[in-house]
Amino acid sequence: MELVFALVIGALTASGVYLVLRARTFPVVVGLTLLSYGVNLFLFSSGRLATGQQPVIGTAANYSDPLPQALVLTAIVIGFAMTAFVVVLSLRNLADNEDDHVDGQKPYKSPAPEEEEEVTGK
Amino acid sequence: MNHWLTAPILIPLLGGILQALMGYAPISLRRTLALATTVLMLVSAIILLVLADDGSYRIYAFGNWQPPFGIVLVLDRLAALMLILTAVLALFCHLYAIGGADEGNRQFHALFLFQLMGLNIAFLTGDLFNLFVAFEVLLIASYGLLMHGGGTVRTVPGLHYVVLNLVGSAIFLISVGMIYSVTGTLNMADLAVKIPEVSGENLNIVKAGGMMLLVVFGLKAAILPLCFWLPRAYSKATAPVAALFAVMTKVGVYAILRVYLLIFGDNAGELANLGMDWLFPIALATLAMGVIGALGSGSLKTLVAWQVIISVGTLLAPVALGSEAGLSAALFYLLSTTWTVGGLFLVAELVANQRGTADDRIITAPRMRNRTFLSVLFLIGAVAAAGLPPLSGFFGKLLILQSVEPGTEMAWLWSVILIGSFLTVIAYSRAGSIVFWRTVDGHLETPDPLNGRISVAAGALTALAVVMVALAGPITRYTDATAAQLYDTDAYIEILQTPMVGEDN
């Protein structure tokens, strides 16, 4: 179980980081979501992995740590709100700049020559 | 248990909820209530400052849970100092905002107050995960505030700011998880007890967690490799928001002070002074980067935004050296620079309003209507920010320079701060002389007249540099005591033994 868990966290985080570094807002948003999934699973595992055990001390010989579960719950709620906000912000970026590039427009595209092209084209 | 500790959190929370519900009430009513909330918050901060000045720790345990098991608020001198710093800055920013900048967004006051609540939680909390929650509260309010104001200029800097901070939050959670997995606690006092006992293979996990925390706090504080989001975001923000954001980077500095002096301090065994040898060169490089940015900036607001980065470098360099005198000097400079930078953002906006299409860019333009008033304010702000005598920035830098022991570090710190200050003076005098003196003929059709509120707010915040010089004695006495208290970590750990209410029954 530990190996599968670690591989899942690693895959989620690696894909998340890769997507966050993309130049379009949609992959960045997806990347942030994957990153938060990876982080939540990691946080969950910080209380040690255990199956079928109670989160109450004294009721059984072994217990599962309830605190990381509370932390993950908080992190999920916050992460969800932040994702909603960043989606709205990316849409606003798309509407304002008519481009979903994270810098508003591609860095190599300077506006002045483009206007000239349009004029000669007409 | 001291219930006053919840006041700086509850006041903006209740005031903010009220604002959120009354978005359609007349604007004069909303403004009165919002300003009253900020004034009440300042009053509560003053009460807590008086309480904290006796040098003891006061705690508030939520739900009456004994400290390592529940979330606690802790009040000490540093927390009280940060509360008063924020409350004073917020009052003047708010006064400026109700001069007209709050129009066009019904939720401006709610966001502003929630931002203050997040800041106050961050300063008061004694729990690492609660610190994360506080960061998120202040960040989500700041996302909204950063986007406040018309036009499309803020979208891209806002997007960068949000994405960077979301990645920062993810790293924060990872480091919290790493530290928790070894120590089994997130209470700062309890961590300070548990960290020295960590050994063997667990040591590397905590070490990695601690260094990642430094990355997160460094992102908030805008230290060198993580500072390039700041100038664009701050220079595009509305003036009162940018001025309030002057304290946001100081939250990162506060978190570094709190966590690295208490948890990874001198007593932390093998992890003692974790990351501090990295922090000193990075702080100096941040300072140098800020100066280069200030010299190259094309508008007044960008110049002030780079000043934020300069002050972060100046603050962290003496902190990294780890002397009590250096910490005290840094705290004095912290007060001075935050208020000055806030005041300069407001002045830059007043200048921009009177220059038509030239805006706040450092170019020639028709003469301003209130040139004398604005130029005096800019002069006071620039002198205080660059650290020229006789204003508070000079005393802050002087104390920092005096605090270093002779040696290699002294040579580095003295040369970087002094050359940096000299180049900052050049940047300010270039900007000031072009904006205020080199005017062209012509007039603007409808220059906005200054109204009372915004000129009082900008003037008073800038004039705090003068007030701080007059009160330099009491302030340095307080910062000395704060530094001594911060290095005496044993006293902080004793809050774990605080008896809870009704425990005897």
CB contact (8 A) between residue A42 and residue B166: no
Return d(Cα A76, Cα B244) in angstroms, integer: 29
- At which residue do the structure tokens 């009280």 appear? B80
What is the reported pLDDT for B505?
43
Instruction: Quote the Cα angle for B387-B252-B196, to 5°.
Output: 120
| CATH of span A2-121 | 1.10.287
Q: Find out whether B99 and B454 touch, Cβ atoms under 8 Å.
A: yes
Residue B42: pLDDT over 90? yes
Return d(Cα B458, Cα B243) in angstroms, integer: 10
CB contact (8 A) between residue B181 and residue A85: no
Query: What mean pLDDT is reported for chain B?
Result: 89
Q: Do the strands B439-440 and B365-366 form a parallel or antiparallel pair, or are they unpaired?
A: parallel
User: Using a CB-CB distance cutoff of 8 angstroms, which residues of chain B are in contact with residue A46?
Assistant: 177-178, 180-181
Return d(Cα B167, Cα B149) in angstroms, integer: 26
Average pLDDT on B35-48 reads 94
What is the reported pLDDT for A121?
45
pLDDT digits (tens, 9 = 90+) for B163-172: 999 999 999 9
Q: What are the extents of the domains in chain A?
A: 2-121
Find the largest Cα–Cα distance for chain B: 82
B281: exposed, middle or buried (Cβ count in 10 Å: 0-12, 13-18, 19+): middle
pLDDT digits (tens, 9 = 90+) for B337-361: 999 999 999 999 888 888 877 788 8
Return d(Cα A15, Cα A31) in angstroms, integer: 7
Residue B27: pLDDT over 80? yes
H/E/C letters for each residue in B320-388? HHCCHHHHHHHHHHHHHHHHHHHHHHHHHHHHHHCCHHHCCECCCEECCCCHHHHHHHHHHHHHHHHCC
Q: How many CB pairs under 8 A join A and B?
A: 86
Return d(Cα B237, Cα A106) in angstroms, integer: 23
CB contact (8 A) between residue A75 and residue B181: no
- At which residue do the structure tokens 């001069």 appear? B99
pLDDT digits (tens, 9 = 90+) for B221-269: 998 888 888 998 898 888 899 999 999 999 999 999 999 999 888 887 7
Residue B373: pLDDT over 70? yes
Residue in B101, B79, B82, B98 with CA at minimum distance from that of residue B33: B98
A58-67, A94-103, B399-408: the lowest-pLDDT one: A58-67
pLDDT digits (tens, 9 = 90+) for B113-140: 999 999 999 999 999 999 999 999 999 9
Q: Which among B133, B156, B181 is the nearest to A46, CB-wise?
A: B181
User: Using a CB-CB distance cutoff of 8 angstroms, which residues of chain A are in contact with residue B136?
Assistant: 78, 82
Nearest CA in chain B to A91: B155
What is the reported pLDDT for B152?
79
What is the reported pLDDT for B503?
54
